[in-house]
Homo-oligomer: A and B are copies of this chain.
Amino acid sequence: MEVRVGLIGYKFMGKAHSNAWGQVNRFFKTGARAVMRAVCGRDENAVRGFAENWGWQSVETDWRRLVSRPDIDVVDIATPNDSHAMIAIEAARQGKAILCEKPLARSLKEALTMLAAVRKYKVANMVWHNYRRIPALQLCRRIVKEGRLGIIRHIRAVYLQDWIQDPKFPLVWRLKGDIAGSGAHGDINAHILDATRFITGSEPVEVCAHFETFIKERPVGAMTGGLGAKAGRGKGRVTVDDAVIALARMSNGAIATYEASRFANGRKNGWGFEINGSKGSIKFEFERMNELQFYDASDPAHLRGFRRILVTEPGQHEYISAWWPPGHIIGYEHTFTNQVADFLTGYLAKKPLSPDFLDNTRNQAALEAMAVSSQKRRWVRVQRVN
């Protein structure tokens, strides 16, 4: 069976998605064959070059045209955050399956409209939380399900980068509230919140957060994205957070801390977490994403310790059979290919996708409660989404 994909957006995430759609057929046998039908971008020349490079069969310059094409089964949304809702709702109306970049929306309200749309039109829907497809995270989920952590007491998670810590770094779109919705919060705090919700199967019920913008004004820069942006002339106001720190009480009784920053000098894509339970603990850091630390309190007392599991065993660890022999590590891009493989499998079987818009709207609800909390300077309950 062929699954015909249309991609909207062709910058950083467009590249990562294109690679995934291209690689998935080669490494995975899902029963469905991804066909890279069309890619859409406003600059025709640029998008044409992109299409040629990545093997997209055609191009569009108007996303509405792409979304309405009858030869497209799946719309993959990789645009800046302010267009996610608009595109996703129209795609749903057109009966397309949807894969949307995170953060799903700029606000909970926006996310709820998107959720309503996919429900109304009953289309397959999924959010690009590619990090769920790190084999080590799948192993975390399995360890929890196997009961190896017992009652979960503590979650602590950080997402630390340093790419805007220089005050001369320009005012890119990710630093503008109207386009991005938020800064480190929606971009990277969203990831660790999702990862820990996924692993523990629990939701934040009450949160308290503080948002900080260390550098209030920056040189006006080309609106071209994240890293490598060049500064222009004049200064503009930064209207998102540079960093966020947060506390949470979880539905399973655990307590949690979250921190996301683009000002953590020396930390490049330094995200990770530790989860402590009554029977064991796990620790993970992305920059060593092929490893998981696991502490099993049921080991003999003289031999207890965090063990470093190299999560690269074919047959034992999720996705690895598709890739390379033990110890031959995979990298960042594989998480996208793994997600596409799961998408194809689920789409074919008409099974729930993870995370779908419902799941991710819950993530959004927690993010929003944190934003409110930061302004109100007190704990805030997270709105329940069902």
Which A residues fall within an 8 A CB radius of B? 12, 16, 19, 22, 25-26, 53-55, 139, 142-143, 153-154, 156, 158, 160-163, 165, 208-210, 212, 214, 226-228, 243, 245-247, 249, 253, 255-257, 259, 261, 263-270, 274, 276-281, 286-292, 294-297, 299, 301-310, 312-314, 316-317, 323-334, 377-379
Contact = CB atoms under 8 A, between A and B. Distances in A.
A248 to B, nearest CB: 9
Given A270-B327, A302-B309, A330-B333, 15 more contacts: A26-B53, A208-B210, A210-B247, A245-B256, A264-B274, A264-B281, A265-B295, A265-B297, A266-B295, A266-B304, A292-B305, A305-B307, A324-B332, A328-B332, A331-B331
5 contacts: A153-B263, A163-B326, A328-B332, A377-B379, A378-B379
A328 B326 contact: no
A305 B226 CA distance: 22
Contacts of A264: 153-154, 274, 276, 281
A323 B281 CA distance: 27
A144 to B, nearest CB: 13
A224 B257 CA distance: 33
Contacts of A288: 288
B255 A243 contact: yes
B301 A316 contact: yes
Contacts of A246: 247
Contacts of A163: 325-326
Nearest to A246: B247
Pairs A-B, 7 closest by C-beta atoms? A269-B327, A268-B327, A266-B295, A307-B307, A378-B378, A305-B309, A331-B331
Chain copies in the assembled complex: 4
A161 B329 CA distance: 14
B243 A245 contact: no
A128 to B, nearest CB: 15
A377 B270 CA distance: 30
Contacts of A160: 276
A382 B358 CA distance: 41
B276 A263 contact: yes
A301 B274 CA distance: 22
B326 A329 contact: no
Contacts of A253: 214
Contact of A269 (B54, B325, B334): B325
Contacts of A302: 139, 142, 309, 313, 316-317
A325 B332 CA distance: 10
Contact of A266 (B212, B266, B297): B297
Nearest to A309: B305
A226 B54 CA distance: 33
Given A307-B308, A325-B269, A154 B276 contact: no
Given A26-B54, A314-B228, A329 B153 contact: no
Interface centre among A143, A301, A304 (most CB of B within 10 A): A304
A268 B154 contact: no
Contacts of A274: 264
A315 to B, nearest CB: 8
A153 to B, nearest CB: 5
Nearest to A158: B156
A280 B265 contact: yes
B331 A329 contact: yes
Contacts of A326: 163, 227, 268-269
Contacts of A304: 266, 307, 309, 313
Contacts of A325: 12, 163, 226-227, 268-269
